[in-house]
Amino acid sequence: MSAAAAKQGLLERLAVGPVICAEGYVFEFERRGYLSAESFVPEIVLEHPELVAQLHREFVHAGSDIVEAFTYYAHRTKLRRIGREGDLEPMNRQALEIAKSVATETGALFSGDICNTNSFDPADSSSRDTVRAMFEEQVGWAVDAGVNMIIAETFYYAEEALLALEVAQQAGVPVVVTLAMFADDATRENWPLEDACKRIEDGGASVIGLNCIRGPATMMPLLRRLRTALKGPIAALPVPFRTNEQEPTFMSLSDHGYDRFPSGRPYPTALEPLTCNRYEIADFAREAAALGIQYLGLCCGAGPQHVRAMAEALGRKPPASRYSADMAKRVFIDQTLKTPKQAR
């Protein structure tokens, strides 16, 4: 990355081309054995900060323009449930410091992160005060750390997303807001998709769009609708799983090759056979870019190979492209090369 590019903020980068953001830290660390799928709380931030820093580096190496502080579910509600509420501030400050360090060394943007609280209830006015207080403390720590932007992600309720936006804007940096859509094309309070996103865009979000829950195949139809409805930059960060019309979310996916899951379904710990390959992710990136989607990325389940495929599909050559496979040279594929008898 050039020195000039490294000094550009989110809005300046969006003005000249797509921006890539790698998310999905909770799933990757669960797979690696450092985080529990029961809670998805990022305890690893305190227990193995060096591993968090390394995954940040791997995602930037693969093409991510943003280092997102690993504070997803590092809020008061989740930490209280696992008896670690006392670690709330240290966990957030540590995650921010790790992300800032990697962003500084790589020239990537440094982003704070707030998310769905699972405490918001549109019918309970007191929940708004509770949720606002949670956002305010996390945004305050992000401001102290000197973030370049804030991501407010994975909201099922548009009203909670608007509350997050209102608080995040106090930081005086660009705010990206993404909703997570279940099988219905509406938010949990039953706002139509376009209406919800338009309200958030009108509320001042720098970027508005979708992340998580839906895979490329079932997110794309929604993106087409948003591109018509919205004026500004749109975000698209699907999960890299083969969702379909009958099973539109990764929570609803079934595996016809196995049926003895402890939870009765593959989600969340047995999705490997249903993962998109890197070429499918490249196809999604090209289609989204052709549609005019400027802020692209991946969420739960993504690995660096997916991020690299997305970057290369956009015409980039991140450092990881040095190792991209030239399949014409692969011995078992190039028919002009001799292969062992047992491989024929």
Q: What is the pTM of this model?
A: 0.93
Would the pLDDT of 7 be above 80? no
Nearest-10 Cα torsion for 12, 58, 100, 105: -80
Reported as a single tens digit per residue, the pLDDT across 30-56 is: 999 999 998 999 999 999 999 999 999
In the chain, what are the domain boundaries? 3-343
Q: Which of 236, 325, 234 is nearest to 278 (CA)?
A: 325
**Side-chain half-sphere exposure of 189, counting CA atoms within 13 A:** 16
Reported as a single tens digit per residue, the pLDDT across 234-264 is: 999 999 999 999 999 999 999 999 999 998 9
How high is the pLDDT of residue 84?
96
**Side-chain half-sphere exposure of 235, counting CA atoms within 13 A:** 30
Between β-strands 149-155 and 175-179, what pairing exists: parallel, antiparallel or unpaired?
parallel
**Percentage of the chain lying above the pLDDT 70 cut:** 93
Asked if 291 and 319 touch (Cβ cutoff 8 Å), the reply is: no
Q: Give the integer Cα–Cα distance in Å for 241 and 219.
A: 11
3-state secondary structure (DSSP) of residue 30: helix
The token pair that represents 134 in the structure block = 């949670």
How high is the pLDDT of residue 271?
97
- Those residues whose C-beta lies under 8 Å from the C-beta of residue 181, and which sit 6 or more positions away, are 187, 193, 210, 213, 214, 219, 222
CATH class as words, domain 3-343 = alpha beta
First to last CA, the chain: 43
What angle is formed at CA 197 by the lines to CA 284 and CA 199, rounded to 5 degrees? Answer: 165
